[in-house]
Amino acid sequence: MSVSRGDDQSPMSRRWILFFFCCTNVLVSFNISALIAVIPAVSRSLNVPVGDAAGIIPFYIIPYGVCALFYAPLAVRFSIKHLMIAAAALCALGNWMCLWTDSLNMILLGRVIAGIGAAAVTPLAIMTLGKIFEKEVRGRVLGLFFSSSFFGALLGLVLSAFADWHWLFAVPALLGLALVFGLCFCPDEGMEANTGVKVKYGDAFRLAGLRRILIFIFFMSLFFNGVCKWYGVYLDKVYNYDQLTISSLIILTAIASVVGQLIGGVVTDKYGRVNSCYIGIGILGSSTMALYGHYPLALLALVLSMISVGWTIAHNGISTVLTDFSDMYRPELAALNSSVRFFSGGLGFYLSGNFMQTNFGLTFFAIGCLMLTQIIFVPKIIPSTPSLQKPIPDVFGE
């Protein structure tokens, strides 16, 4: 089996691979945050209840979470490069379907198709970037990769402030088509199939501490998405802001996320994964609790921005832990991380819906408290690096 390692591959080749993964991340994230901002506008345009219009969010991220589990096994049989081309094509198709219709059902179908394609990006990126880059720089590399998603979200949000919501699907449709052609020129080295690798989720679950880490990621994403995915409706109902103001505030959260991700990469590499989680969760939970109050525009913008900074610092720390596990389980870990994060995000959005529409402030305060309780579990959840290399003994002797 021929597997590309970071020390066997030219720096330029690795940069090109990182570039294409970042571009694809821009594609899959372009209209997630933007659609959050325009849910009230979609509701009014289609003449449907806001709760029904909000389905455009979970109909994307739940299929994303479920399908992420299938790309690691597919990467054993098919070239990662070819899988990324197929993923870009599906994203383009799904967004194209949403662009030319005013039927909510057709839009939801297009969101499902786009979510299936988008599911490939994060697991394939983590397993590939973790393979071709050395451990000492992985935190910064992953920080750059995840930051690209917030750059894509930022572009979408800028468009949402000035254009009709239909056009939030036009740009990713065209970008997906461009990436289908662009990825054909991506270097093959480092993007080959993981031939000979057996993807065994059961064995991966036996790694020391992994189940605790995945449960931690599940609840962290559940709480965060139960808050941030309702920003558009919250700002419309509670503050009665216009579309430009709503989009502008969510743009600030996207910018704050880029800053937080870069800070998180440095903190993770220099001060450790545990400290990164402590800092991130502390900022995230306390800022979310602060939404209980009603603030002037500038102070509200600060609170929303700090929520994004906290989330991205914590997310970088816990995601980097997964790259520290034994290389033989990288495909399984990459897929599990992405699947758990997005499935729980969609579930969090759905579960918090009824509470949010009853009382936003109390719901934010309660979720913030739950976020802070995760600090207690950080030392027990993130194991030391040596223990990441061995499985938990099988008590049944199998």
- Region 231-258: what's the mean pLDDT? 91
pLDDT at 91: 95
pTM of the model: 0.80
Which has more confidence, 63 or 318?
A: 63
The rounded distance, in Å, linking the Cα atoms of 388 and 181 is 39
Task: Tell me which residue has tokens 């994203």.
Answer: 91
**Per-residue pLDDT tens digits for 333-355:** 777 877 888 899 999 998 998 88
DSSP tag of 194: -
- If you average pLDDT over every residue of the chain, what do you get? 85
Q: Classify each residue of 115-144 as buried b or exposed e, where b means 16 or more C-beta atoms within 10 Å of its C-beta.
A: bbbbbbbbbbbbbbbbbbbeeeebbbbbbb
Q: What is the pLDDT of residue 208?
A: 65
Residue % of the chain over a pLDDT of 90: 45
**At residue 8, does pLDDT exceed 50?**
yes
Confidence of residue 297 (pLDDT cuts 50, 70, 90): very high
Give which of 41, 32, 150, 20 is closest to 87, Cα–Cα.
20
Q: Per-residue pLDDT for 253 more than 70?
A: yes
CA–CA gap between residue 185 and residue 197 (Å, rounded):
25
Q: How far is 343 from 135, CA to CA, in rounded Å? A: 28
pLDDT at 267: 85
In the DSSP assignment, the letter for residue 151 is H
> Residue 150 pLDDT more than 90?
no
- 69-92, pLDDT tens digit by residue? 888 788 888 899 999 999 999 999
Here the tokens at position 209 are 């501490």
| pLDDT of 145 above 60 | yes
Tell me what the mean pLDDT of segment 166-171 comes to: 90
Distances 244 to 157, 161, 235, 248 between C-alpha atoms, Å: 10, 5, 11, 6
- For CA atoms 225, 57, 335, 91, the dihedral sign is negative
Sign of the C-alpha dihedral, residues 132, 186, 116, 156? positive
The overall longest dimension of the chain from CA atoms, in Å, is 63
**DSSP track, 262-277:** HHHHHHHHHH-HHHHH
Q: Say if residues 208 and 387 touch (Cβ distance below 8 Å).
A: yes
Q: Which of 32-46, 240-254, 264-278, 287-301 has the highest mean pLDDT?
A: 287-301
Check residue 366 and give its pLDDT. 96
Could you tell me the domains of the chain? 10-385 (1.20.1250.20)
Q: What is the mean pLDDT of residues 277-286?
A: 94
Distance CA 273, CA 215 (A): 17
